[in-house]
Structure 1
């Protein structure tokens, strides 16, 4: 009986591992393992798991059905194509559902205790689905494919908890140029580059399908410690209306975020 108790406890702890109270299990994706401060505690913390491996961390807003930010380590891009199968996060809907992100089709195969219609309904309560995106908006990756190396890491970026509506002109234009600017920075000199990319989810211009908030702005901040121990940092804000990108310091980006979220936001805990 005692052995069974421990077995069940182990299952519960494992099943509850991905949507968490803290980022302790995936804090390696933050510079010096320091998680940003000042964001509302009502948002959900997700250790993004695919293929039984953590790939990045996301703070998620179930009310607006978009991420507040995704934090990851930039990896030099290797060969490999884009991945078309968009996935969902099962544990945002039911904490005892599978811990890995997966497609809706695979979730229905894995969860036999619920009829497919109920599974789809439960998922749609907390996150976006394919039918929500239409018109002039892309599923804008916060952790982009071009910043990841292995095929598994690239595939892991294709989850709705890592995407927000971005105008096609911005996502495929100046924002894409910004992503490659971060990618080609020489001053990090081969050391780990930590990036946090997010949305102004409290200021949106409407909702797609009356469900998914369209952020007025997107933002990105990066930080690394060069081999000479100097700390290097940069930031950018993209306007989702005018489809332009403004480059600024991390400190100025934090000031803008603090205004949007009505809180004192610190992305790198003063280290960058």
Structure 2
């Protein structure tokens, strides 16, 4: 089960890069998640059973921690699965402009544009949406193939997009800190399927999920919610995903809740 914790921001940040986006972008593979701990809530990496436990990557040959750097500034951190060729989780950084990458090149350890060619079923579904980026450079840093997964087209453009817009509105209204800034913690992720692959290389997730929490200074309380969507075409237009509790999401992901707001 893949989990993604997006870091605290004003408004919100991003995902992951192995593939160079431009000359300004550096995929900085580091030795451990602690090298980019500033992007995690309480500087504590998420707990992903069998993948990342107690801050340690269990299979370092398969899972690569990346401090994503854009214009000489670290903007987010990602743990990337080089076998399934999709992000495990991301913190901090989506768009359609993939023109700056080599479309005909096949990469051994990550997805490439060629994997999505001649495909009429799946979009390049971004784990972290560009609309959540706080600056133009943060927004640009989302245009990367390692911030995407194969996502059913109408699901991506329909109910999932509706959910992202709703969460952004909620956070802009309620997630205001004592300085008057929007500040929150967002988690997004993809649950990999057991045997569905695009181009026989890139895992097609069975579901996507998202969760957020923030401390509202005005309400003097933590608020949180989560969403889950099967990675299939929407059954009808204007579909909205059901809002669920974090506990319900934990049950779906078969993870016990060991924390107060973000426990992964």
Normalised to the residue count of structure 2, the TM-score between the two structures is 0.71
Which residue of 72, 77, 84 corresponds with 2:97? 84
Which residue of 103, 108, 112 corresponds with 1:125? 108
The answer to whether residue 78 in structure 2 is matched with residue 58 in structure 1 is yes
Specify the alignment match of 1:187 in structure 2. Answer: 174
Distance 1:219 1:225 in 2: 21
Which residue of 6, 25, 40 corresponds with 1:30? 40
Distance 1:47 1:152 in 2: 16
Structure 2, unpaired ranges of 5+: 1-25, 52-57
| Cα pair distance change 1:36/1:265, threshold 3 Å | farther
> Higher helix fraction: Structure 1 or Structure 2?
1
Farther off after superposition, 238-247 or 178-187: 238-247
8 A contact 2:175–2:182 mirrored in 1 = yes
The answer to whether residue 118 in structure 2 is matched with residue 140 in structure 1 is no
SS of 2:92's equivalent in the other structure is: strand
Which residue of 244, 251, 258 corresponds with 1:248? 244
8 A contact 1:48–1:56 mirrored in 2 = yes
Matches within 5 A, 1:144-223: 144-185=129-170, 186-189=173-176, 190-201=181-192, 203-204=193-194, 206-223=196-213
8 A contact 1:144–1:157 mirrored in 2 = yes
1:16-36 CA deviation, whole Å, 9 max, x = no partner? 982234322333332232221
| Cα pair distance change 1:217/1:205, threshold 3 Å | farther
How many Å apart are 1:155 and its aligned residue? 1.2
8 A contact 1:234–1:248 mirrored in 2 = yes
8 A contact 2:102–2:113 mirrored in 1 = no
Distance 2:160 2:134 in 1: 20
1:41-93 CA deviation, whole Å, 9 max, x = no partner? 333222222222222222221111011222228xxxxxxx9561367xxxxxx
| Cα pair distance change 1:208/1:83, threshold 3 Å | closer
Distance 1:269 1:154 in 2: 30
Which structure's CA Rg is the greater one? 1
| Cα pair distance change 1:38/1:223, threshold 3 Å | same
Which residue of 212, 222, 230 corresponds with 1:231? 222
Specify the alignment match of 1:111 in structure 2. Answer: none
Distance 1:48 1:180 in 2: 25
1:108-154 CA deviation, whole Å, 9 max, x = no partner? xxxxxxxxx9xx55xx1110110111222111111111111322111
Could you say what the CA RMSD is over the residues aligned between the two structures, in angstroms? 2.8
Distance 2:156 2:195 in 1: 17
Number of residue pairs matched by the alignment: 213
